[in-house]
Amino acid sequence: MSTKQSVRRRFLGGGFVSLAIAGGLFVAFGAPTQLEDLLLLSWLAIGGLALVVAAAVERLPLGVVSVSWPRIGAVGLAVLALGSSTVGFVQLLEVSGWVGLLNAVFALGVALILAFGALECWFGGLQIDEDAFVVEA
């Protein structure tokens, strides 16, 4: 399996996991009634959907321009990073004790990893081989 196929397969898995978490939260707690709950479900669903689309299509036509799969994946990872960092900072500010601190550190660490992944996809291979981000014509 090539590096490109590996990256796209990971996008597909991560996208499905994000969508499953959003769906599970929706089923468990019902339709969101507060803005915070709506934002939580939205960033998981939008980020997961973007990753699934990046794994499924080579180019996504948007009007007169088409967006390549690495850029779509970068947007999905950036959305998930933004949401995770928001959750981390909220945990850091609202929850006291070691458990809250550990949750905040974990969420912020995940956000940092996702942000690095988004930058890697957007710029097309800074640390990962450039062949992983080739877009077929």
Domain count, the chain: 1
Q: What is the pLDDT of residue 65?
A: 92
Nearest to 81 by CA among 6, 14, 12: 14
Q: What is the pLDDT of residue 1?
A: 63
What does the DSSP assignment read for 64-131?
TEEEEHHHHHHHHHHHHHHHHHHHHHHHHHH--SHHHHHHHHHHHHHHHHHHHHHHHHHHT-SSS-GG
Res. 109: pLDDT tops 90: yes
Q: What number is the average pLDDT over the span 123-134?
A: 76
- Give residue 31's pLDDT band: very low, low, confident or very high (50, 70, 90): confident
Query: What residue numbers bound the domain in which 49 lies?
Result: 3-133
Characterize the bridge pairing of strands 65-68 and 59-62. Answer: antiparallel
Say what the pLDDT of residue 45 is.
95
The total of other beta-carbon atoms located within 10 Å of residue 57's CB is 14
Q: Averaged over 120-126, what is the pLDDT?
A: 84
Per-residue model confidence as pLDDT tens digits over 39-92: 889 999 999 999 999 999 999 998 899 999 899 999 999 999 999 999 888 888
